A and B are shown apart, each in its own frame.
Chain A
């Protein structure tokens, strides 16, 4: 069974540009979670989607947005990139919003120059 996949593996952007990160959950999983892991700050919750709906949002500015598609894959968009957005962005999925074991993808390393 394929695990959670994320693309691209690495992404290099300059300040002010937009970045789009993609995530495909494990087959049958309806919940997708996005996290930011910046150096020294630990893992910070960004967004949670289930059945196409946004369930919860972390303490991030509106330029961080996302969506979940009918096939449950998800996209994270970051507009007006800032240097401090450089981080590892991790996506996780779970069977449903009431099932707690989250399975993580390998992450996308975003570097903002």
Chain B
């Protein structure tokens, strides 16, 4: 059974800091991995999707990497801003027909002005 872990559960950093959010998963047989952002009480916004054949994806100040063999992904946020404050979730889709996304519990990020 695939398990996705995100540690720590919460993180507080000063504005302008570069930071890394970690995600680990137990089964390396994945189709892809996604990072989402969730603002309090709201739905999820897809940030980056990495296919299993890829090593990383970039969008603006965000960079996500994937190391299937070690079961790890990182989300790098450059020059953090207070507007980046949110919960960041990673989710993996295992291989296999009709497989479903398995989510981590998320990391709640607070960027202090």
Q: Which A residues are closer than 8 A to B by beta carbons?
A: 4, 33, 42-45, 48, 55-56, 58, 88, 90, 92, 97, 100-107, 109
Contacts and interface: CB of A to CB of B under 8 A. Distances in A.
B70 interface: no
B44 A48 contact: no
Interface of B: 31-32, 34, 36, 41-46, 49, 89, 91, 93, 98-106
A43 B103 contact: yes
Nearest to B104: A42
Contacts of A55: 98
A105 B41 CA distance: 11
Contacts of B46: 101-104
Nearest to A53: B98
A48 B103 contact: no
B103 A42 contact: yes
Contacts of B104: 42
A110 B31 CA distance: 32
B98 A109 contact: no
Given A106-B42, A106-B43, A56 B100 contact: yes
Contacts of B91: 43
Given A42-B105, A42-B106, A100-B32, A58 B43 contact: no
A34 to B, nearest CB: 11
B49 A43 contact: no
